[in-house]
Amino acid sequence: MALPMLRGCYRVPSTFSWTRLFLNERIVLRPAPPLAAGAAAAAVRPYSSDRGRERQNQKVMVVGIPNPFIWLRTRIYYFLIRAYFDKEFSIEEFTEGAKQAFSHVSRLLSRSQFEALEGLVAKDLIGKLEEKCNLLPLSHKKALSANADEIMYTTSGDVGIYYDENGRKFVSILMRFWYLTSAQLPDDDMEGARVFQVAIGGEGEVETKRLLTANYEFQREFTKGVPPDWTITRIEHSKLLD
């Protein structure tokens, strides 16, 4: 159930009975050391940049330490989604589709192409995003864009199952993304953001990239007869677009 395209915006009703789950996960990113023989596998994402010279790889190791109890509850929610809403639901396929959607929508935001967000982002959210983006300097707008090959880590953060007073059924999944950007950002505006020196040539030339985070919430109505479309209803770029 990949999400190459998102259609069918809707406004979520104001009255719900709901169950909500929060996933707390400690994330550590650091340059990956050589693995010794027999060492436990870790999530390693290779990063590379090519400007017509010899390509060099810079690896960043992502270590996630989830709360075991919350991890189990999250899997229970995925089971409930498959059992009662979509028997073909797969969090792995959803995550891949969400990454594609995040990369595409973030580029549209960076270019101020708000009309192109129609059908991808909830209508009431587009106007708010336009107001916020119009106040950003060009460097911050550039930093909103996340290329697919610069997304270092993705995880689900918040899973919700909703029923409104009319019996309509909704599922929301908040996805968290960590991505690199080469945008030139003032240090005082980006306190706490990690900085990486990435090799881009064979002569010691490096490029500074910052590690930024973003939260995108995807919602879908599972009421019978409603198109099976996921819509982005929440967008946050830490230090840029909160």
* Chain segment 155-195, per-residue pLDDT in tens: 888 898 989 888 899 999 999 999 999 888 876 555 545 55
* Chain segment 37-72, per-residue pLDDT in tens: 333 333 445 554 444 444 344 555 555 566 787 778
Q: To which H or E segment does residue 176 belong? A: strand 169-181
Partners of residue 19 on adjacent β-strands? 161
Domain boundaries, given as residue ranges, for the chain: 23-30+42-237
Pick from 125, 86, 129: nearest CA to 231: 125
Residue 24: pLDDT band by 50, 70, 90 thresholds?
very low
Comparison of pLDDT for 10 and 215, the residue scoring more: 215
Measure Cα distances from 52 to 84, 112, 199, 202 in Å. Answer: 52, 30, 13, 11
Partners of residue 209 on adjacent β-strands? 196
At 201 the pLDDT is 54
Comparison of pLDDT for 233 and 31, the residue scoring more: 233
Contact 222, 170 (CB under 8 A): yes
Residue 74: pLDDT band by 50, 70, 90 thresholds?
confident
Pick from 4, 6, 227, 9: nearest CA to 127: 9
At 104 the pLDDT is 97
At 116 the pLDDT is 97
Instruction: Tell me which DSSP letter residue 88 carries.
Output: T
Is 29's pLDDT higher than 90?
no
Comparison of pLDDT for 118 and 200, the residue scoring more: 118
Contact 116, 5 (CB under 8 A): no
Give the list of residues 6+ apart from residue 48 with CB closer than 8 angstroms, or none: 55, 56, 57, 58
At 193 the pLDDT is 54
